[in-house]
Chains A and B, each alone.
Chain A
Amino acid sequence: MKVIDRSDFTALIEELIASDPREVVGVQESGEQYVFDRLESAEQLALEHDLTALSPKKYVMPQRETLLTYEQTDDDYEMRAEADPTGHIVVGVHPYDLAAINQLDKIFIDTLQDEPYRRKREHSVLIGVTMQDVADTCFAASMGTATIDSGYDLMVTDLGDRFAVDIGTFEGDQLLESVPTRNASAEEVERVAEIKADLEDAFDRELAFPPAALPTLLEASYDDMDFWEDYAEQCLSCGTCNVVCPTCFCFSVDMIRDLEGDSGRQERRWDGCLLEDFATVAQGENFREEVAQRHRHRFMRKGWYIYERYGDIACVGCGRCTRHCVAGVADPCEVYNELREGQHA
């Protein structure tokens, strides 16, 4: 573990903003909330944030991105796959968001080789930060994602006038080369461990049982339609819970035609299983017509389906869905706890 003075860390970020070809983005305040956005200067960084509105997923899987362009000339026709490699230097990523990106890596790179994702991911640098403030909707400790020891290039912990820095990758190590650092003292290492340990108690919300029990619990709850109907009654099918989630990755593919009509592009954009037409086929048959079915699908996917296929619980406990759901019915922690309680009643 290294230690870097606060002023040197600031200088490092300034230098990256000034000279790295990639855009440097970081957590900052925007009105009432925290967001990841382009940094004009290191001073904008708000590393004491509790939760950002959207997760940094947007930098590896943008809300809209071009998969393909096409152009038609008289008798020729050209189609080109696009895989925009524009990576970002992302500063201030909380451990649960790093965990979410690790899950996406497994699916989009290791398993299904999604080139547009891979390119952006491999050209990006993730600078994590140990949580200092915990959102009231967050239950990351229960999901094992309040702290993390891989999946970042650098991981910093605020020690007041200095930061402790964990180096996760060679690229992270290289970033530090231009600024003075020193090895952390035994006390500083200890201090970081304490901060992390204290975090465990900082959460208002917790899952009442280990997440490893989720797949079985959900499987057993699948047919409990009364529960799902009751629960989904207030749901507006707005899809916000899907959109804000760092582990949700469903998308739609659209064709965008240029005005002249002989060229254009194919884009993918975020989509969500809570939206009514998500599973509708051309002639109108909808395989998940009822709100309750869609609602159930979301929780099954998070706690069971993705686990079956990839071995991960697709919820890192960030609490964004809970915070942004106006109907107050999106909280996985609450849903899973209630299911568990019902099962034991």
Chain B
Amino acid sequence: MRSQTRKRFEHGESEYQPIEGQIVWIDDHTDDDKLFVIDLPDGVALDHEPGQFVQLFVPGVGEAPFSIASSPTNEGPFELCIRAVGNVTNAIHDMEAGDVVGIRGPYGQGFDVDAIAGEDLLFIAGGIGLAPLRSVINYALDRPGEFGELTTLYGCTEPAEQLFPEELDSWAGSDVMDYRETVDEVPEDQAWDGNIGVITSLIPPLEFDPESTVALVCGPPVMYRFVIKALREKGLADDRIYLSLERNMHCGRGLCGHCQLNELYVCLDGPVFHYPTVRDKEEAEV
């Protein structure tokens, strides 16, 4: 049995009361993406599982769900990587270190680290999908011996879209993880001497044992179907695939109905799903 969401915070009158989080550090990653390092009062740990999300509340603007980008092995402040696409995300991009936001959660089901213990892990991230995966990639890196071989594939539309550049460099130079990357295209003003092509182009050349490998996938909706197809062609069975899916969310706790995917609630039953659970659900679009 996987553990349910654990919670360390005392909520106020209801689950809808966020606790105060303070932005302690902001790192610009790309034109649109920033990393926010957030500290909870009294150094309390968020106590999340890799792959879970929080509801982040920006006063006067709104609330939105964000995957926790840091691993729970990294005690202390936690991290969110946020792309500015609308009201809440632009407002938080305008904030500065020292500013306060509201945090509810952690919510949802993350990657089931017990179920994948001992396996070789193949991480496949598209664009901002790296943020949720990073929580489990770093989890695996921080627990040597707990998993088998680690491989990460990362694809972006163009070189300037890459997140966590320093970390990518360290992964690329690491001998504990096989890291491979690609971009869809290279605009004239950007330098790139790596692979060009969609993320699925990284899969055929890979050598992995489908009997001992588990794939963990997160990216834009269009990506899933093609990645899964490529994985199947390499002989990977469906029950060796986990996906993190994104949906519209308002309550984060199984009531408001926005995140519903057929009979499932992405906020309660996901965002990380075992592929067989969602394979035959039309609304999963996988």
Contact = CB atoms under 8 A, between A and B. Distances in A.
Given A77-B100, A251-B250, A287 B257 contact: no
Interface residues of B, number: 40
A308 B263 contact: yes
B14 to A, nearest CB: 3
Considering residues B86, B100, B221, B255, which has the most beta carbons from chain A within 10 angstroms of its beta carbon? B255
Contacts of B60: 70, 255, 257, 261-262, 264
B63 A304 contact: no
Contact of A288 (B16, B59, B102, B283): B283
Interface in A11-70: 67-68, 70
Q: Indicate the size class of the contact surface on chain A.
A: 35 or more
A179 interface: no
B105 to A, nearest CB: 14
Interface in B241-267: 246-248, 250-251, 253-258, 260-263
Interface in B59-101: 59-64, 85-86, 89, 100
Contact of B246 (A80, A257, A281): A281
Nearest to B248: A281
Given A300-B262, A308-B263, A68 B59 contact: no
Contact of A114 (B12, B85, B255): B255
B31 interface: no
B275 interface: no
Interface string B26-66: 00000000000000000000000000000001011111100
Nearest to A296: B282
Contacts of B254: 112
A196 B64 CA distance: 49
B20 A79 contact: yes
Nearest to B86: A282
B15 interface: yes
B261 A116 contact: no
Given A82-B13, A108-B255, A282-B89, A252 B283 contact: no
B262 to A, nearest CB: 7
Interface of A: 67-68, 70, 72, 77, 79-83, 107-108, 112-116, 222-223, 249-255, 257, 261-262, 264, 266, 268, 271, 273, 278-283, 285, 287-288, 297, 300-301, 304-305, 308-309
Nearest 6 CB-CB pairings of A with B: A115-B14, A250-B257, A81-B17, A305-B263, A81-B13, A67-B16
Interface of B: 11-18, 20, 57, 59-64, 85-86, 89, 100, 102, 221, 246-248, 250-251, 253-258, 260-263, 282-283, 285
